[in-house]
Amino acid sequence: MKLERLVFALLALTLFVTAVPASVLAHGERNQEPFLRMRTVQWYDVKFPDKREYAVNDLIEISGKFRMHYDWPQVLEKPGEAATFLGIAVPGPTFTREALDINGKPVPTSTNDILIGHDYDFRVVMKARRPGDNHIHPMLSIEGSGPIIGPGIEVKVTGSQDDYVKSSQIMTGEKIENLETYNLTTVVTWHAFWIAVALSWALYWLARPLLIPRFIMVHNKEWDRLITPTDRKVGVVLLVSVISVVIGAYVYTDMKYPTTIPLQGGKTIVNNTPMIEPKITVSVDRGEYYVPGRTLTVVMNVTNNADAPVRLGEFMSANLRFIDSSVPAAVANVDSAYPTDYALVGSLKVSDNSPIQPGETRSIEAIASDTAWERERLVGMLRSPDNSFGGLMFFFDDAGNRYIANVGGPILPNFQKSTGE
Amino acid sequence: MAVSESGSDSKLGSGADLRFLSRIFDFAVALIVLMLLMAAFHVHAMLTIGDWDFWVDWKDERFWVVITPVLLITFPAAFQYIFWENFRLPFAATLCLLALVLAEWITRVTAFNMWAYMPFSMVWPATLIPGAIVLDLVLMLTGNMLMTAIFGGMAFGLMFYPGNWPMLAAFMQPVDVHGSLMSVADQIGYTYTRTSTPEYLRIINRGTLRTFGGSAAPVSAFFSAFLCIIMYMIWWQIGKFFCKLITIPNVLRTHMGYGQEEKPNEGDLPLKA
């Protein structure tokens, strides 16, 4: 009786798991080690579309910038030496890739031109192919480092996958109506043909007594009775036929498709823009993470080499944006379509956020406090063998101009007391 | 207990009954062998060839052409030994490749298309059935392992690329994708997202093979054919090894009441059993 109940429970569980419509709410980015997210690719100024519902065949565009963090983890291969590929993090081909651009140039293949310290504009355009609720993200894959996923949004796709169409144009003029089904008739026909031939040959032998009688005859050395002259004649005919079909089909296909090229595996060249000398420099004195309070405190010296007084408005790390709500330009910098999970307005406090004058160096304490540290599993940085944090600091002047500074350094855990007590 | 020539009754039943039982046994074994091959050979193919056979934009002129026949002549060679030496049956290679392609299509339909939503134009498998039939026929006509290795193995390697070209050629036509030259296969790979498979993971057309401006495929095919000869001989021996009954001497036999004088000849055990 217990066994029956167990079987019933397992069946019910299986039915529940398979019957509930699947939706993907994230792409495992939270499972990536914090040092991967905090000290490699810094995605910023990412623009998402306002719409969250699309039909099959609709286009969705995400654009923005990314900076290759200056303090690239030693354990990872360096971009430039390693190949890099801009892609999209979606559940397989539920969305197809229509365009991938870096610095305004299409990058359909990988590139070796993405360098540490540089900023890049990116744009990904995808086309909805399969209905469902899915998260979509930009993603930069770096050989030896893996995929680094940018911020994402959840979108709903409606319609039917059967309506999806992706056409193309061969350079010799022929139009491909749909890549989904292109040349499938030929593929299936040839497979069916060879399977039929193979089955016929197997059945030719299966039709006669097979194992026991033949085994006995082999051990009695009655080999001539097992392979008869008729078998040999059939064999010769089949041998000549198979070779003739292969050669004939090859020659015919070559005539049918006179213009073919090998698969293209070259790297794309990306136009690098020169690195801009930062007008604001940050030197970290101490980084501390208060575990019970989910708070990162960074004590740092900020030097303002710009022409105008500036205030710290935002600290960005691992796609999380800690924003000081007392800096209007920082709040205004948050796009309305940006996912609220990542834009944490009011989560950044600065010990002395009065404007830092041009030429002034000031020690300030930036306190980024939010449960997002826990939710995004960034607390794992305390268990890392290379215990450091990284990110970008955004400073703003009164005119709304923004200045970006790199920030990073070792981090100390505080398990006991609140910071500043 | 042998079947009597006249078909008269034996202790097991009439000759007709025994022949019927023998055929039932044949088909049961054939079904089991087919299922076994579908599973084992497919796992072997997935683990060794993997992406080169999964995706249309991995089917290149160098690696795919060399690696696929060399790694797929393995099971056919081993099973040819088993089928030929014990039963004089010349369809082992054909059966292996038939099982493989059936298993591959099952996977392509259920896993790649129905589960992972990949279009069939991207994930169709290659076929090696023509080479396998030739391999079987050379063995049947020559009855010689060395001749089969040289001529059959070579044909197996050489026929792979032309045997698949009728399916592949249309995918190797040039297209312009955002100002970059690509083949249709490249464009399919670019368009249909394999999320955690960035483009740089493709191992295609790498190396410094000089072909004087011509196609690399013939050079790769001849190299593959040469390797197939060697591979065939190795796996024939592996088939032979698995046909042997291996016994382990019982080191505790004296403690089990057997005397030293009863030690049997090593070769007697399997045959008498």
Answer whether B134 sits within 8 Å of A205, measured CB to CB: no
| CA–CA separation, A377 and A35 (whole Å) | 11
Q: What residue ranges of chain B have pLDDT lower than 50?
A: 1-9, 269-273
Domain ranges of chain B: 22-166+214-244
Which residue type sits at B7? Answer: G
Q: For residues A209 and B22, is the Cβ–Cβ distance under 8 A? A: yes
Structure tokens of B247?
Answer: 């016994």
Q: How are strands ordered across the β-sheet holding A412-414?
A: A348-350, A361-369, A295-304, A280-290, A412-414
A186 contacts B167? CB cut-off 8 A: yes
Which residue among A205, A239, A257 places its CB closest to the CB of B170? A257
Tokens of A398: 């009164």
A262-312 residue pLDDT tens: 999 889 999 888 888 899 999 999 999 998 899 999 999 999 999 999 999
Q: pLDDT band for position A174 (50/70/90)?
A: very high
Contacts of residue B130, Cβ cutoff 8 Å, sequence gap at least 6: A194, A242, A245, A246, B159, B163
CB contact under 8 A, A92 and B193: yes
Do A262 and B140 lie within an 8 Å CB cutoff?
A: no
pLDDT tens-place string over residues A66-82:
999 999 998 899 998 89
**pLDDT given for residue A372 in this prediction:** 93
Correct CATH for B22-166+214-244 of 1.10.10.10, 3.40.50.1400, 1.20.1450.10, 1.10.3720.10: 1.20.1450.10
Do B157 and B224 touch, CB atoms closer than 8 A?
A: yes
- Residues facing residue A123 across a β-bridge: A63, A101
Question: By C-alpha distance, which of B187, B172, B56 is closest to A106?
Answer: B187
User: Is A93 in contact with B193 (Cβ distance < 8 A)?
Assistant: yes
Which pLDDT belongs to residue B208? 74
Delineate the domains of chain A, giving CATH numbers in brackets.
Answer: 20-165 (2.60.120.570), 184-256 (1.10.287.710), 280-414 (2.60.40.1580)
Answer yes or no: is pLDDT of A23 > 80.
no
Determine the distance in angstroms separating the CA of B230 from the nearest CA of chain A, rounded to an integer.
Answer: 22
Looking at the complex, report in whole angstroms how far the Cα of residue B17 sits from the nearest Cα belonging to chain A: 14
- Comparing alpha-carbon positions, the chain A residue that sits nearest to B168 is A187
The reply to whether residue A262 touches residue B143, judged by beta carbons under 8 angstroms, is no
* pLDDT of amino acid B206: 83
For B194, the closest chain A residue by CA position comes to A92
Smallest CA–CA separation between B31 and chain A, in Å? 11
Interval B149-201: pLDDT, tens: 999 999 999 999 999 999 999 999 999 999 999 999 999 999 999 998 899 99
Instruction: Specify the range with the lowest mean pLDDT, choosing from A110-124, A186-200, A210-224, B221-235.
Output: A210-224
- Considering chain A, what percentage of its residues have pLDDT values greater than 70? 95
Arithmetic mean of pLDDT over chain A: 91
